[in-house]
Amino acid sequence: MCVSCGCGPDEVTISGAHGEHRHHAHGHAQSYDHGHGDAHDHSHAHDEGHHHHHGEASGTDATRLVEIERGILAKNDAYAAQNRARLNAGGIVALNLLAGPGAGKTTLLVETLRALGARAPAAVIEGDQQTANDAERIRATGTPAVQINTGKGCHLDAHMVGHALDELPLPPGGLLFIENVGNLVCPAAFDLGEEVRVTLLSVTEGEDKPLKYPDIFQSADLVLLTKIDLLPHLDIDIAAMERNIARINPVAPIIHASAKAGGSGLAAWLDWLGDVRRRRLDGLAADAESRAKSLRAAAEALP
């Protein structure tokens, strides 16, 4: 359950290279053992509070709600840690893309993947309540993609993402884009095991969105202002929008982006992605050298 809104994913569907898998969550003590990859343990029992609906939660006192929320987030964080370890082992940079519906996440992602081409291997996890439309758009670029349909759920969680990872050919040293469900509230609370968070805000959404929905901007490592090509047609104070973002998150860089052909900002976004990936690869190289030195020292110490 999402304690903030009371949603509960009564049936999550994950579709990818190995077909379609449905994960029912009607019961409160179901145990799932899916027998997937060794890096993500799917055998678990759902928390009693995990799927409370509005009527059930309404009779629950505030202390109990806090306990439920802490339990849900603690379980999610444990799965996120598994995902993160798995991705780190492959040198994969995972990016959680967060935004409201209609901000242009998928369109920007399609153009990003086309621009990256063979320079950086990539894979995509798409999150929506229903349809596989976005995953099909991604696959049309030649990029492997898995679709997660959350049913009544308003966000992805780390357990869903762990299942999706089993369906993806993860590119060693590459990029994994996780396009979250379009929502400016609940996705901010759930760690998926990503390395960086990117919050997208369309210039059509208004200057005050960062102030109305601060959490999703506060946790961002980068803010992308999308559909920037529409500015000449809008009565928007872009400087005020940037000031409001900075009030919530003074350290995250802000990049102006347009997915239209030749749009401004795509180059800056690609440069930012390149820097993130280089830092990961440099870190892997340093770790490998450190391990090699340790092995050499141990060998030299042998009698």
Residue 30 within a domain:
no
Residue 60 within a domain:
no
Q: Number of structural domains, the chain? A: 1
Work out the pLDDT band at 261, boundaries 50, 70, 90. low
Residue 34 within a domain:
no
What does the pLDDT read at residue 33?
A: 41
Q: What is the CATH number of the domain that holds 93?
A: 3.40.50.300
Q: Output the pTM of the full model.
A: 0.80
Asked if pLDDT for residue 256 goes beyond 80, the answer is yes
Could you give the count of Cα atoms lying within 13 Å of 10 in the half-sphere of its Cβ? 6
Percentage of residues in the chain with pLDDT exceeding 90? Answer: 61
96 Cβ neighbours under 8 A, 6+ residues apart: 178, 180, 187, 192, 194, 196, 197, 198
Residue 46 within a domain:
no
Asked if pLDDT for residue 77 goes beyond 80, the answer is yes
Residue-wise pLDDT tens digits, 276-292: 999 888 765 555 556 66
What does the pLDDT read at residue 28?
A: 34
Work out the pLDDT band at 110, boundaries 50, 70, 90. very high
Asked if pLDDT for residue 92 goes beyond 70, the answer is yes
Mean pLDDT value across the chain: 83
Residue-wise pLDDT tens digits, 158-201: 999 999 999 999 878 899 999 999 999 999 999 999 999 999 99
Q: Worst-scoring range by mean pLDDT, 38-52, 84-98, 215-229, 240-254? A: 38-52
Residue 43 within a domain:
no
Asked if pLDDT for residue 73 goes beyond 50, the answer is yes
Residue 161 · residue 193 · CB < 8 Å: yes
Which run of H or of E encompasses 98? strand 93-98
Over residues 18-35, mean pLDDT: 49
Residue 289 · residue 281 · CB < 8 Å: no
CA distance 70 to 279: 33
Query: How many Cβ atoms from other residues are within 10 Å of residue 79's Cβ?
Result: 24
Among 112, 117, 122, 62, residue whose Cα is nearest residue 92:
122
CA distance 211 to 39: 39
CA distance 106 to 125: 11
CA distance 181 to 188: 11
Over residues 93-105, mean pLDDT: 96
DSSP state of 205: G
Residue 74 within a domain:
no
CA distance 213 to 220: 12
- Output 218 or 264, whichever has higher pLDDT: 218
Over residues 199-204, mean pLDDT: 97
Q: Worst-scoring range by mean pLDDT, 4-13, 169-178, 269-278, 287-296? A: 287-296
CA distance 156 to 154: 7
Which run of H or of E encompasses 234? none
SS3 sequence, 7-45?
Answer: CCCCEEEEEECCEEEEEECCCCCCEECCCCCCCCCCCEE
Over residues 47-60, mean pLDDT: 45
Query: How many Cβ atoms from other residues are within 10 Å of residue 139's Cβ?
Result: 17
Residue 122 within a domain:
yes
Work out the pLDDT band at 45, boundaries 50, 70, 90. very low
Residue 64 within a domain:
no
Q: Residue 15's domain spans which residues?
A: 11-24+87-279
What does the pLDDT read at residue 266?
A: 87
Residue-wise pLDDT tens digits, 112-134: 999 998 889 999 999 999 999 99
CA distance 188 to 96: 10
What does the pLDDT read at residue 50?
A: 42
* Residue in this structure with the two tokens 């180059």, named with its chain if needed: 267
